[in-house]
Amino acid sequence: MNKVNVPNFKLNNGDEIPALGYGTWLGVSEKSSGADQPAEEFGFDFDGTDIPKLLDALSYAIDIGYRHIDTAHFYRVEPEIGQVVQEKINEGVVRREDLFITTKVWQHYHRAADVEVSLRASLHRLGLDHVNLVLMHWPMSISQEGVDEKIDYLETWRGFEEVLKKGLTKAIGVSNFNIEQMKRLLTNCNVPPAVNQIEVNLNLSQADLVDYCQANEVVVVAYSPFGTMVPSRATLNSPEPKLDNPAMLAIGRKYGKTVTQVNLGYLYQRGIVSIPKTVTKSRVLENASIFDFQLDDEDVATLAQFDNGFRTVRPLFWQPYENYPFDVVPGQKHVDIPIAMRKWKNGANGDID
């Protein structure tokens, strides 16, 4: 069996995070890629069809050397992720201390005391006594009924600092925070976030935000690292590069790498962790086989030219809510938050609290 060797980045608490992880978000209905399409077209039905494939691919990923698993309460798969982890421990493939496991607190749990409620529930579903990192999934606080609770994320952060003190997690961080929100948090926290998980890809470099985080010892973790490059995320108005982009293909040939490997290698050279998701074993191996080459300055400059600010993930129905972190797209018709983003049960059968 082929093995991969993934290097680590240092967190501000002294722990290390693998530079590439296995993402476990399976996505939503085909109408709702989250890209710039009319808000009224969003379907947002959770799609669990690929859960068996996800678990098989995750098991394979651990077998070949992946040690970083990224999940969340919202992803609905914490029970299954925990089962795979326990199986791999029981088989002697890994020890718990070899794994870096991240989960996230959803918008319903932004009162300081509710952070612990959420994390303890995640730990129960995962079958763990701690995670390595827990993130505030979004800076907005929204109830299951879709009401803007307007809870200051600084209050929420106090809850994160408490679960850290209690040993329920080894590190705390945020996700989808913009630069102004990061500045305010870093100015008003007792424990600085170890991570900001944000969308970063060739179309969305987020250079100012990435630079600010890195200058303040906050590791950036990139979700949607391929953007709309892959066909499953492409929309009618999504820009280049695609998998057949001539410039990308030429760079790939130069280094003996695929277009997606070039993409991930570029992010790694920027000091960014990536968490690509795939349920295909060959791509699991391919994604982690990127640490044996380095792009030269000319190729880096070529790739940087694809940056145009295009967001793959832009949930427009959250625009009216306080602390929405992205630029607001004007002229959008109001649409209620889909029920699938407000109320759910976990697990493949949707029957686990």
Chain segment 28-40, per-residue pLDDT in tens: 764 444 444 443 3
Contact by Cβ (8 Å): 68, 75? no
Cβ-proximal residues to 301 (8 Å cutoff; 6+ apart), any chain: none
Task: Tell me if residue 221 falls in helix, strand or coil.
Answer: strand
Q: Where are the domains of the chain?
A: 8-34+43-342
Q: Give me the pLDDT at residue 32, please.
A: 40
For the chain, percent of residues with pLDDT exceeding 90: 90
- The closest of 198, 218, 202, 208 to 267, measured between CA atoms, is 202
Average pLDDT over residues 15-33: 83
Q: Which two tokens stand for residue 313?
A: 């993930």
Contact by Cβ (8 Å): 152, 188? no
Q: Is 153 an annotated catalytic residue?
A: no
List 75, 223, 266, 324, catalytic entry: 75
- Residue 296, burial from CB neighbour count under 10 angstroms (0-12, 13-18, 19+): exposed
Residue 227: left if φ>0, alpha if ψ -120 to 50, beta else—which one?
left
Q: What is the pTM of this model?
A: 0.95
* CB atoms inside a 10 Å sphere around CB 195: 24
Chain segment 294-352, per-residue pLDDT in tens: 999 999 999 999 999 999 999 999 999 999 999 999 988 888 899 989 999 999 999 99
Residues belonging to the binding site for substrate are: 137
Q: Does the pLDDT of residue 15 top 50, yes or no?
A: yes
Mean pLDDT, the chain, integer: 94
* CB atoms inside a 10 Å sphere around CB 188: 12
Q: Give me the pLDDT at residue 43, please.
A: 56
Q: Give me the pLDDT at residue 42, please.
A: 46
Confidence of residue 47 (pLDDT cuts 50, 70, 90): confident
Residue written as tokens 């009401």?
A: 147
Contact by Cβ (8 Å): 253, 181? no
Taking 3-state DSSP, the helix, strand and coil percentages for the chain, each rounded to the nearest 5, stand at 35, 15, 50
Residues belonging to the binding site are: 137
| Beta bridge pairs of residue 221 | 197, 273
User: What is the fold of 8-34+43-342?
Assistant: TIM Barrel (3.20.20)
